[in-house]
């Protein structure tokens, strides 16, 4: 039986002035062994977003088959308003499918998708949006520049700037950050050949790095509207990130870029003194600003350009052509062997 009228009936949903959402998938099935530091590192991630963000944002956390104790802790953070939206999936459905739980309903103009083990640094969002401002075709921007990604979903950039001096190799801005990134992946160290030069794009003296990391990146939401409607069959890996996060912006001629300097750290599964020290020293930005208005180009699939990008990538399979192009983009001859 129904009695009376639902007070929400015919009520208009209030619009929000917040235009940036962060999605964090979390998978902590237990709190010992490999995952003994996982929740602490997640809290570092969550709090560092809240501490360092200059612009207003909302945070969605997706619990992807976490244990009950972790879900309880997540709900406590939700009650404290450190999380705006909490989605709890009892089963482990996989990283991409967990992201899709939040992504498919995003209304904000920008969405940052981040692993739960990222430590955000001062000015990270300011610097990311500076890249969007400088490059109108930017669709994906990461605050972590990484090595040897210059051909990862970037052929459209190469074609646009093939004969321009604005696309060239430069010295890595922050070699120490690259070293830390490599160690977070389990590497014992990073050889010098991976942290000396990196491909960059210039616009009126503003420099960005070509391509972006998977562990954290901010997207123009419009460029993710054509993601596959079905869920991924992979829990992790396969080509799930390529199919759902890399290829859709690329198919719409969106640029994949990173900040020239490093504004976040990938931490891995163990807390360390250096990252804990940075985290504890962060001063919270209490007064958040509204995100500035950006000119957003309407993304369109350009079939002819896609044809030429495929042809260009096939040409690069010939070593002489590949080497010639790298040399024209400022790579010293003695460094060629390091980029093959």
Please tell me the distance from the alpha carbon of residue 146 to that of residue 90, in angstroms, as a whole number: 34
Distance CA 168, CA 327 (A): 9
Q: What pLDDT does residue 295 have? A: 78
244-264 pLDDT tens trace: 999 999 999 999 999 999 999
pLDDT of 240 reads: 81
Closest C-alpha among 322, 315, 309 to residue 254: 309
Phi first, then psi, for residue 275 (nearest 5°) are -75, -35
The tens digit of pLDDT for each residue in 76-115 reads 999 999 999 999 999 999 999 999 999 999 999 999 999 9
Q: Is residue 235 over pLDDT 80?
A: no
Helices within 192-334 (DSSP H only): 240-241, 247-251, 273-281, 303-315, 319-328
- Per-residue pLDDT at 238: 66
Determine the pLDDT at residue 199: 98
Phi, psi at 229, each rounded to 5°: -80, -20
What lies within 8 Å, CB to CB, of 133 at 6+ separation is: 292, 294
Q: What is the pLDDT at residue 288?
A: 96
DSSP string, 88-130: EESS---HHHHHHHHHTT--SSEEEEE-TTEEE-TTHHHHHHH
Report pLDDT digits (tens) over 178-214: 999 999 989 998 999 999 999 999 999 999 999 999 9
Return the SS3 of 257. Answer: strand
Q: H or E element: which one contains 181?
A: helix 175-184
Does 7 score more than 70 pLDDT? no
pLDDT score at 13? 60
The pTM of this model reads: 0.94
CATH code reported for the domain at 20-285+307-339: 3.90.550.10
Count of C-beta atoms within a 10 Å radius of residue 205: 6
Helical segments of 263-333, H only: 273-281, 303-315, 319-328
pLDDT band at 335 (very low <50, low <70, confident <90, very high): very high
Give every CB contact of residue 239 below 8 A, 6+ residues apart in sequence: none
pLDDT at 3 over 80: no
Window from 32-36, 44-48, 118-122, 188-192 with minimum mean pLDDT = 188-192
Three-class DSSP labels, 36-47: CCHHHHHHHHHH
Instruction: Report d(CA 143, CA 49) in Å as an integer.
Output: 12
For residue 6, the model assigns a pLDDT of 65
Q: Both ends of the chain: CA-CA distance in Å?
A: 72
pLDDT of residue 234: 78
Number of H helices, E strands in the chain: 11, 12
Which one has a higher pLDDT value, 10 or 253? Answer: 253
Q: Which residue has the higher pLDDT, 340 or 58?
A: 58
pLDDT tens across 136-186, in order?
Answer: 999 999 999 999 999 999 999 999 999 999 999 999 999 999 999 999 989
d(CA 256, CA 157): 8
């Amino acid at each position: 039986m129904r009695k009376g009228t639902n007070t929400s009936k015919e009520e208009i949903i209030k619009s929000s002035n917040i235009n940036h959402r962060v999605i964090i998938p979390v998978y902590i099935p237990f709190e010992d062994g490999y995952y003994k530091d996982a929740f602490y590192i997640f809290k570092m991630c969550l709090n560092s977003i809240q501490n360092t963000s200059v612009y207003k944002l909302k945070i969605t956390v997706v619990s992807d088959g976490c244990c009950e104790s972790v879900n309880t802790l997540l709900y406590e953070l939700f009650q404290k308003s450190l999380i705006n939206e909490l989605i709890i999936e009892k089963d482990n459905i996989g990283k991409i499918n967990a992201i899709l739980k939040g992504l498919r309903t995003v209304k904000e103009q920008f969405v940052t998708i981040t692993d739960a083990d990222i430590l955000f640094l001062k000015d990270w969002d300011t610097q990311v949006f500076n890249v969007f401002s400088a490059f109108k075709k930017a669709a994906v921007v990461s605050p972590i520049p990484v090595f040897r990604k210059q051909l990862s979903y970037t052929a459209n950039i190469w074609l646009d700037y093939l004969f321009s001096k604005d696309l060239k190799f430069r010295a890595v801005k922050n070699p120490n950050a690259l070293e830390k990134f490599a160690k977070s992946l389990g590497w014992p160290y990073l050889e010098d050949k991976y942290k000396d030069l990196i491909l960059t794009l210039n616009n009126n003296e503003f420099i960005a790095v070509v391509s972006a990391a998977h562990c954290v990146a901010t997207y123009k939401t419009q460029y993710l509207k054509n993601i596959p409607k079905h869920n991924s069959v992979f829990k992790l890996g396969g080509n799930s990130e390529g199919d759902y996060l890399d290829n859709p912006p690329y198919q719409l001629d969106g640029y994949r870029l990173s900040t020239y300097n490093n504004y976040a750290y990938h931490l891995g599964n163990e807390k360390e003194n250096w990252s804990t020290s940075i985290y504890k020293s962060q001063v919270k930005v209490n007064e958040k600003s509204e995100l500035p208005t950006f000119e957003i180009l309407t993304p369109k699939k350009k079939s002819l350009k896609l044809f030429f990008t495929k042809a260009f990538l096939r040409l690069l399979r010939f070593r002489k052509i590949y080497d010639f192009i790298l040399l024209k983009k400022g790579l010293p001859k003695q460094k060629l062997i390091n980029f093959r």
